[in-house]
Copies of this chain bind each other. A is one copy, B any other.
């Protein structure tokens, strides 16, 4: 077994956005030649998260972001002075990492699943960090 490290950047386009990063994760797995193991996907941010959900109908992402905005409004009675307390709270609800399985060299996903960076305070340049622990 071996540990490999990879990183890539993504640019978000809106304040709130779910950006599909599945392809970049698959490319990193192929590049290091991982066969059996896991990939830990992590964002080093406090106002953007990582999640796994449907990548077929973009209306799902729309509904997710709309509901989060109604539960955690942008403007509210927050103390944090930077105007993005909502983004911090949404990031905690979403989480900043996921662990995905690799079998036979392939990222294992359910039929409708994709990996998404969840931008809550964009547009920004964001980073995604990967640790791949796998047999080659």
Contacts and interface: CB of A to CB of B under 8 A. Distances in A.
Nearest to A91: B53
Interface string A99-114: 1110100001111110
A37 B133 contact: yes
A97 B71 CA distance: 23
A113 B44 contact: yes
Contacts of A40: 38, 99, 101
Contact of A71 (B71, B78, B108): B71
A46 interface: yes
A4 to B, nearest CB: 9
Contacts of A94: 92-93
Contacts of A91: 53
Nearest to A129: B101
**Interface pairs A-B: 10 shortest CB-CB:** A44-B110, A59-B79, A63-B85, A59-B80, A46-B54, A63-B78, A3-B36, A101-B131, A46-B112, A52-B96
Given A45-B110, A45-B113, 13 more contacts: A5-B101, A5-B103, A42-B108, A43-B110, A45-B112, A46-B113, A54-B88, A63-B80, A71-B71, A97-B98, A97-B100, A99-B99, A133-B133
